[in-house]
Structure 1
Amino acid sequence: MTRLETDPSPSSRAAAGGRQARIAGWLEADGRVDVAQAAALLGVAPETVRRDLRAMETAGRLHRVHGGAISVVPRPMVTRSAPKSRYIGLGRTVWERLPRQGTLLIGTGPPALGLAEAISAAPPERPGLTVVTNYLDAAVVLSRVPLLAVYNIGGTVSPTSRGQEGDWAITELNRLRTDVSVICPAGISVEDGLSDPRPAGAAVCRAETRIGRRVIALADAAAVGRSAFVTFATIEEIDEVVVAGSVPDRLHRPFSDRGVGLTVVPTVD
Structure 2
Amino acid sequence: MSEGNSDIMFAEERQAAIAKLVQERGKVLVPDLVSFFKMSPATIRGDLRDLETRGLIKRTHGGAIPSDAARVGFEPENKDKTVKDRSLKEAIAKKAAELVEDGDIIILDAGLTTKAMCDHLQDKNNLTVIVNDLEIASLLERVDNVSVVVIGGMLRRQFHCTVGPFAVKLLSELNVDKVFLGTNAFSVRKGCTTPDMNQAEVKRTMIRIATQSVLLCDSAKIGKNSFVQFAEPGEIDLVITDSRISEQHLREMTEAGMEVMVEQVY
TM range (shorter): 0.5 to 0.7
Deviations 1:103-141 (A, max 9, x none): 10010111111112222xx321x3x22110111111111
Q: What residue identity is the alignment partner of 2:177? A: D
Contact kept, 8 Å, 1:87 with 1:267, in 2: the verdict is no
By how many angstroms is 1:210 displaced?
1.0
The residue that corresponds to 2:177 in the other structure is: 179
In the alignment, the residues of structure 2 paired with residue 163 and residue 178 of structure 1 have an alpha-carbon distance, to the nearest angstrom, of: 19
Q: Cα–Cα, structure 1 residues 255 and 85, in superposed 2: closer, same or farther, change >3 Å?
A: closer
The residue that corresponds to 2:143 in the other structure is: 145
In the alignment, the residues of structure 1 paired with residue 90 and residue 223 of structure 2 have an alpha-carbon distance, to the nearest angstrom, of: 23
Contact kept, 8 Å, 1:94 with 1:115, in 2: the verdict is yes
Q: Cα–Cα, structure 1 residues 86 and 249, in superposed 2: closer, same or farther, change >3 Å?
A: closer
TM-score w.r.t. structure 1 length? Answer: 0.65
In the alignment, the residues of structure 1 paired with residue 79 and residue 210 of structure 2 have an alpha-carbon distance, to the nearest angstrom, of: 25
The residue that corresponds to 1:123 in the other structure is: 123
The residue that corresponds to 1:87 in the other structure is: 89
The residue that corresponds to 1:98 in the other structure is: 100
By how many angstroms is 1:266 displaced?
4.5
In the alignment, the residues of structure 2 paired with residue 118 and residue 90 of structure 1 have an alpha-carbon distance, to the nearest angstrom, of: 11
Contact kept, 8 Å, 1:88 with 1:118, in 2: the verdict is no
Contact kept, 8 Å, 2:181 with 2:203, in 1: the verdict is yes
SS across alignment from 1:207: helix
Q: Cα–Cα, structure 1 residues 79 and 211, in superposed 2: closer, same or farther, change >3 Å?
A: farther
After the TM superposition, which segments of 4 or more aligned residues of structure 1 sit over 4 Å from their partners? 77-80, 83-86
In the alignment, the residues of structure 2 paired with residue 188 and residue 223 of structure 1 have an alpha-carbon distance, to the nearest angstrom, of: 6
Contact kept, 8 Å, 1:217 with 1:242, in 2: the verdict is yes
Q: What residue identity is the alignment partner of 2:209? A: I
SS across alignment from 1:82: coil
By how many angstroms is 1:263 displaced?
2.1
TM-score w.r.t. structure 2 length? Answer: 0.66
Deviations 1:21-68 (A, max 9, x none): xxxxxxxxxxxxxxxxxxxxxxxxxxxxxxxxxxxxxxxxxxxxxxxx
RMSD: 1.9
The residue that corresponds to 2:32 in the other structure is: none
SS across alignment from 1:185: coil
Alignment coverage as a number of residue pairs: 188
Contact kept, 8 Å, 2:88 with 2:218, in 1: the verdict is no
The residue that corresponds to 2:240 in the other structure is: 242
Contact kept, 8 Å, 1:88 with 1:117, in 2: the verdict is no
SS across alignment from 2:217: strand
In the alignment, the residues of structure 1 paired with residue 265 and residue 161 of structure 2 have an alpha-carbon distance, to the nearest angstrom, of: 24
Equivalent residue for 1:170, pick from 157, 168, 179: 168
Q: Cα–Cα, structure 1 residues 78 and 97, in superposed 2: closer, same or farther, change >3 Å?
A: farther
Contact kept, 8 Å, 2:92 with 2:218, in 1: the verdict is no
By how many angstroms is 1:163 displaced?
1.6
What 5-or-longer segments of structure 1 have no aligned partner?
1-76
Larger deviation, residues 151-160 vs 248-257? 151-160
The residue that corresponds to 2:154 in the other structure is: 156
The residue that corresponds to 1:4 in the other structure is: none
By how many angstroms is 1:80 displaced?
4.8
The residue that corresponds to 2:64 in the other structure is: none
In the alignment, the residues of structure 2 paired with residue 157 and residue 236 of structure 1 have an alpha-carbon distance, to the nearest angstrom, of: 30
Q: Cα–Cα, structure 1 residues 223 and 158, in superposed 2: closer, same or farther, change >3 Å?
A: same
Kindly report which structure 2 residues correspond to 1:38-49, keeping only aligned pairs within 5 A, or say none. Answer: none
Q: What residue identity is the alignment partner of 1:100? A: D
Equivalent residue for 1:199, pick from 197, 200, 208: 197
Deviations 1:78-121 (A, max 9, x none): 655136655222211111122222210010111111112222xx
In the alignment, the residues of structure 2 paired with residue 105 and residue 133 of structure 1 have an alpha-carbon distance, to the nearest angstrom, of: 6
